Structure 1
């Protein structure tokens, strides 16, 4: 504790600085000016007794007005004295006298910019600049020492703080991060004592600390009279405080989990805000591993929301503009480091906002989309790097547990989200680290796809994930492709056998699982038909003659299963997405695997609305204005592992991905287009009439 001997100055010989007022006395309502005879010093907690036998240490001229210069003026008093003052002020507050209590709160509330300017001007008038500067420095030093003393005094009185929320709030608003280490330790000790004695304040304390997860201000480490503190040190102090609270109150983890959820940046906030917050959450897991599941689940949930909104925004832009945005991000990432070291000035975001305000509406929209893509890209790149160490040994217990966590996120967050575009590649990448992980993910998708207790939309989405994973996963072995193909085929036979006799015609609402799984088979066939050949069939793919029917031998049941399914009364080729059907028809005809163009010609004359039933009833569905459009009654061409577009994080999945391989002799002129041809076919809606035209051209 710093002990300071008060300086006594006489007022009569010459003008001198005004006497400081006791700390727990506040100004009158009329302002900061009051007469000395109104000070009621005899009744003050800090005043000396009014006994005539004792001479006052300071004499006052009753004609001189006293101006309050600083709330810090209790000089030379011990911790024991101040502790008693704090206790009495709290007790008086509870009895209705809050004068000293309110003044005590001002000790902790940070000064705003400009506070003390009037005092400085008056000092310049009353004395020499050098002397005034020394006085100010002395007062500031005393204030700093007394702030800590009052903090220690309040800490010793935490048991009395019930009903003193305003005082607690004032202490929590204190500029504590940038002060010396002894003060920081005392402050963290106060937080621990407070939540131990007054559990009702736990949420408020944690909210204050988690608020710093958004980033501590650079200026917080530049407090007058204290050594500079780096931003990393400031952040570290926040985490030391959080760890201390979790150590003394283990159950605080539940409250902390709720708070970090509520404090997560909004979707439209900047990339820097998201990255800073997520990095702090990951740092939190170093000392609070029990929150790992909650933290990763939260990040995934918010990432999916950003993912979907980003895709909606990209879809609203012209394709050339969207491509230019991705190219610009790629160039930016190559010319500067993508990781922010966090030491930028606090004005950087304001400058960015100012530059955006100068753009027109179209430019703002494009800039907003670009920011969203960069943000999504950076967050996913960070998550890949965070998850990666868990899978260094894919057969370890650590890898197994983490993949279970990812599977949980997939089932609860990613799968139910309509058209998530990139988040699911976390599963795609890490599921291919080991054969048992491939089986686990494919098995989960298959189980969900055939679970009749699940909503139809979940079963359809699961089928799309299964097909896309098997088709696009380069580490998915041929035997897995065959196993999945056989499993889907047997399930389709069961569904067909149960419904074909009563089927009136193609009906997506009634037989949605059948159509979703059929489309999955068609998609898998387009990409992995080579794995459906007998192992003895070895051929040179550059030799187009090798693709003659007599030279290709398919594993048992592949051709028969697809034939029964396609030519069933449920007529899946009328319901499945036309681009997928078109691609399958071309490949099957070229390989002399199957001829489906006659069926496609027949399907041109079928109007799906005549077979569509109303939900929960057997009546014919009237689709209104869209009733004559077959696309309203057909499956989407949605395959969640279509090409990955984010330029920076793309590096994680490049070696995991099956690119489209052209077939010699089929569309020979387009063989060099590579993956773009099939992806464009899949992603762009095509009318059924176009499919028939393609068939006629091939014939």
Structure 2
């Protein structure tokens, strides 16, 4: 290779020879760089020489740059890594046409290579993780420097983050590494945080819809179910006594665990959710205290993600709990979220399916969230009932039959009212004027209206609501329920020239019990399971069997059911809306 008079390596002389048509030394130099056996000290000298002559690297030397971008530099010693970082920063600053290739190379390091001897189904060793963490740190250092030095380089970076996301079939560890690094980028790329959160959420939703609730429960195995049944049968009275003594009055015996999920997609989702909720916790809390400004900013960004991705996604089971957790940070955040959803419910220009989905989120949140006070619940029920009565005032004369197709939002709001009232009735009647307030909701008018919501709403909710309102003499639904049973519901029909009449209400309840192990540590302490007295009937229908833990003997007296076990939570699916005011979060 060309040498200066001092005997040192001269890259400028090498480039001059190449331009004059002599490629031998140049080709030898390229081969030396690409050889993994090249000593670190030699490589450091070469990188320093290239850095000093970086302006010479025009498009004529693309093959040399390609070799440099393939170097496994982060795994080398610290001196080589520093020289490479300096070279790469100089390269993209001097020649922006190398920017995309350089960023692509850096992002690829977010997905480390796993050697074939490592089982993808087992935890990666601590040594391997530490090695990868060193690589990630080196990559983030140079990536931050490039983003700071090259304006608008993040617009080139964001599409690459999407394109290089590991495939869904890749091991959980690779998905974890990539998402962890994406979240790390938000610390030095704050303007792109919303886009990064959207990208991560989109990936989690893809995993979520591939892990249905029923499949997760089935894949956890018969052994766990058998252990739960033994505890439930033998120690029922003891467990109930212990759980009912809790201050929150809830019964919830799902344990947090670091055990991987049996269901493959659920396990990956669990890892991703744990990363996301940990990130939320770190952003929102400083030394155990809520950082209000940071929380507001994160909430605004996640609300956009929710509207674009989470709300329109059907049949997701767990990703929406990131909003559930975020609502726990401060009551004004929770109120603002409910207010946002309630505005969607009221907006006639919003698609009916989104209005009904928004109702589901509000009702499920009001019912399940331990952190929502009863004053907020009553305010929301006031708002919902007022809307329902106004709806009846405006449509009473033209009503002929119950029709979900034309009155879907109305039925969803009614089901929300029933659902929330059932869940929070114990607290309502413990209020000083709780019964008088409940009378003011005028449930009797709602259930006896010609729109007949008891006919359309989920029967398990209707029967429980009927039992509670009968006991407290708020409404008498039994006669209507019996009459509805005798009515033959119209069959849904379709096709050209035929009208479609929907007779059942789609029951999607976003905050059903949380089934993921590791990330459950963030959700379980905030989550309320249903507990209450219900009346069992001898002729339980099939749809009730889906919700009830076990069909009791017809001779068994009405009993208080423990509904804390996640697989047998009584009111699995819910719906509702509501709210009063929003503070300074918008």
Shorter-chain TM-score tier: 0.7 to 0.9
**Structure 1 residue 621 and structure 2 residue 499: aligned?**
yes
Distance 1:234 1:297, change over 3 A: same
Q: Give TM-score scaled by structure 2 length.
A: 0.77
In 1, the alpha carbon distance for the partners of 2:459 and 2:558 equals: 22
2:580 alignment counterpart: none
Per-residue Cα deviation, 1:28-79 (whole angstroms, up to 9, x for no partner): xxxxxxxxxxxxxxxxxx6xxxxxxxxxxxxxxxxxxxxxxxxxxx899855
1:263 alignment counterpart: 164
1:453 alignment counterpart: 349
Per-residue Cα deviation, 1:473-517 (whole angstroms, up to 9, x for no partner): 222122211111111112222322333322331211111111111
**Structure 1 residue 145 and structure 2 residue 42: aligned?**
yes
In 1, the alpha carbon distance for the partners of 2:47 and 2:325 equals: 55
Per-residue Cα deviation, 1:499-541 (whole angstroms, up to 9, x for no partner): 3322331211111111111111110111112344483258xxx
In 2, the alpha carbon distance for the partners of 1:169 and 1:509 equals: 60
In 2, the alpha carbon distance for the partners of 1:677 and 1:181 equals: 50
Per-residue Cα deviation, 1:643-681 (whole angstroms, up to 9, x for no partner): 222223222223322222223998855424334599654
Per-residue Cα deviation, 1:542-598 (whole angstroms, up to 9, x for no partner): xxxxxxxxxx5444521x1x2222222222222222222232223223333222122
Match of 1:107 among 32, 35, 45: 32
1:377 alignment counterpart: 270
Per-residue Cα deviation, 1:400-431 (whole angstroms, up to 9, x for no partner): 11222232222222111112211222222231
The alpha carbon displacement at 1:333 in A equals: 4.6
In 2, the alpha carbon distance for the partners of 1:644 and 1:564 equals: 36
In 2, the alpha carbon distance for the partners of 1:605 and 1:668 equals: 26
1:86 alignment counterpart: 15
In 2, the alpha carbon distance for the partners of 1:645 and 1:275 equals: 19
Per-residue Cα deviation, 1:56-114 (whole angstroms, up to 9, x for no partner): xxxxxxxxxxxxxxxxxx8998557432212431x357xxx8666544432322359xx
Q: Give the root-mean-square deviation of aligned CA atoms.
A: 3.7
The answer to whether the 8 A contact 2:213-2:317 is kept is no
Distance 1:370 1:676, change over 3 A: closer
In 2, the alpha carbon distance for the partners of 1:386 and 1:514 equals: 38
The alpha carbon displacement at 1:204 in A equals: 0.8
SS at match of 1:501: helix
Q: Give TM-score scaled by structure 1 length.
A: 0.66
The alpha carbon displacement at 1:285 in A equals: 2.7
In 1, the alpha carbon distance for the partners of 2:227 and 2:358 equals: 29
The answer to whether the 8 A contact 2:367-2:420 is kept is yes
The count of corresponding residues between Structure 1 and Structure 2 is: 514
The alpha carbon displacement at 1:241 in A equals: 1.6
The answer to whether the 8 A contact 1:391-1:398 is kept is yes
Per-residue Cα deviation, 1:613-656 (whole angstroms, up to 9, x for no partner): 979x9x75268xxxxxxxx6312332111222222322222332
The answer to whether the 8 A contact 1:463-1:520 is kept is yes
Distance 1:678 1:509, change over 3 A: farther
2:416 alignment counterpart: 520
Map 1:430-445; keep pairs closer than 5 Å: 430-445=326-341
2:63 alignment counterpart: 166
The answer to whether the 8 A contact 2:530-2:571 is kept is no
Match of 2:196 among 283, 295, 301: 295
In 1, the alpha carbon distance for the partners of 2:388 and 2:14 equals: 82
User: Higher relative contact order by CA 8 Å / sep ≥ 6: 1 or 2?
Assistant: 2
Q: Whose Rg is larger?
A: 1
Unaligned runs of 5+ in 1: 1-22, 24-45, 47-73, 113-139, 220-228, 339-366, 539-551, 624-631, 686-699
In 1, the alpha carbon distance for the partners of 2:41 and 2:278 equals: 44
Unaligned runs of 5+ in 2: 117-129, 229-253, 537-555, 575-586
The answer to whether the 8 A contact 2:43-2:80 is kept is no
In 2, the alpha carbon distance for the partners of 1:184 and 1:677 equals: 50
Map 1:22-421; keep pairs closer than 5 Å: 78=7, 81-89=10-18, 91=19, 102-111=27-36, 145=42, 148-149=45-46, 152-153=49-50, 156-215=53-112, 230-311=131-212, 314=215, 317=218, 321=222, 333=257, 369-392=262-285, 393-394=289-290, 396-421=292-317
